[in-house]
Structure 1
Amino acid sequence: MQIKWDSEVSKSTIAPFSDKMMLFHIVTLVATASGYYGAAFALSQRRDLGLKYEMLIAEITKYAEDGANLLIKNGWMEQPPTFDDRDKLAKQ
């Protein structure tokens, strides 16, 4: 009996995932990493590490900005939820 593995390399030339989905995941991972650096910075009791964390956060923020600019350029960034205009609703 021969076992067939679905994870083997295929002859397909079509990408299995869209560019939009891959970029979304990368930007999400970068944002998560930035949060982890911030938490490490806040909890670290060593003075010498504070500067290193600060530099890492600044560096990863530039990387995150590049990802966000790509999302905007391709029209893939969605508008975040907004609040209703309470003054306009009160006047109706």
Structure 2
Amino acid sequence: MLLQFKYIRGGPCKNYKTKTRAKQKEICLNKLTSAEIGKLWITYMGNSMARCVLRYFLQNVDDANIRDVLNEALQLADRFTRTVDNIFTQEGHPVPIGYTEEDVNVEAPRLYADEFYLHYLKYTSKAGISIYGIAVPFMSRPDVREFFTDCLVGNYVEDGANTMIDLGWMEQPPQAADRNALAKG
């Protein structure tokens, strides 16, 4: 159950929802810490780059299932960059320029097979999980901590992995031996 929290930042209360407390509170939002600024900055930069790469991939992908996974990844990257932009803007902090349409030619000839797109997502998802997971315990502001927690939950790893398995592009790890069969000798 989500409960309503109100956070005050030198003005009227802002509504904020969280699962972590059993009652409503009013808490003053502090300025961003250096750890928060750094993690938000790298999140913005990484996701602005992902938006460019994913737009290029979407111009060239053939498989409809892979297109769906790429579109979902693009929507997440868009949402993450918008959220960081909003946090920085509300704080009067400069917003990174990031990567833009000027940094990629989506009309460039195709460089990769569809299979590569899913491998790319798998490895960028692993990097994102690492960045977001490390960020959570260092975030002192509840809104920033919740954003990074949401980033972890909102990751598209499962859809990409399932598509790779369905297409036979992900190797299965070795299976443990049947202990009962081994015991019978």
Give the TM bin, normalised by the shorter chain. 0.5 to 0.7
Is it true that 1:18 corresponds to 2:120 in the alignment?
A: no
Q: In structure 2, how many angstroms separate the alpha carbons of the residues matched to 1:36 and 1:56?
A: 10
* Moved beyond 3 Å, runs of 4+: 15-18
Is it true that 1:79 corresponds to 2:172 in the alignment?
A: yes
Q: In structure 2, how many angstroms separate the alpha carbons of the residues matched to 1:16 and 1:53?
A: 33
1:31 alignment partner, one of 122, 126, 131: 126
Alignment deviations for residues 63-89 of structure 1 (CA, whole Å, 9 cap, x no partner): 222211321231212212222222321
2:147 alignment partner, one of 52, 61, 64: 52
The residue number in structure 1 matching 2:55 is: none
2:138 alignment partner, one of 36, 39, 43: 43
Q: Which runs of 5+ in 2 are unaligned?
A: 1-108
Q: In structure 2, how many angstroms separate the alpha carbons of the residues matched to 1:39 and 1:81?
A: 30
The structural deviation recorded for 1:16 is 4.8
The residue number in structure 2 matching 1:89 is: 182
Between Structure 1 and Structure 2, the one with more strand by share is 2
% identity of equivalent residues: 34
Q: Which amino acid aligns with 1:46?
A: R
How many equivalent residue pairs? 77
Q: In structure 2, how many angstroms separate the alpha carbons of the residues matched to 1:52 and 1:16?
A: 34
Closer, same or farther: CA 57–90 of 1 in aligned 2, 3 Å: same
Alignment deviations for residues 10-43 of structure 1 (CA, whole Å, 9 cap, x no partner): xxx7x55433234213212112211221111133
Q: In structure 2, how many angstroms separate the alpha carbons of the residues matched to 1:39 and 1:18?
A: 32
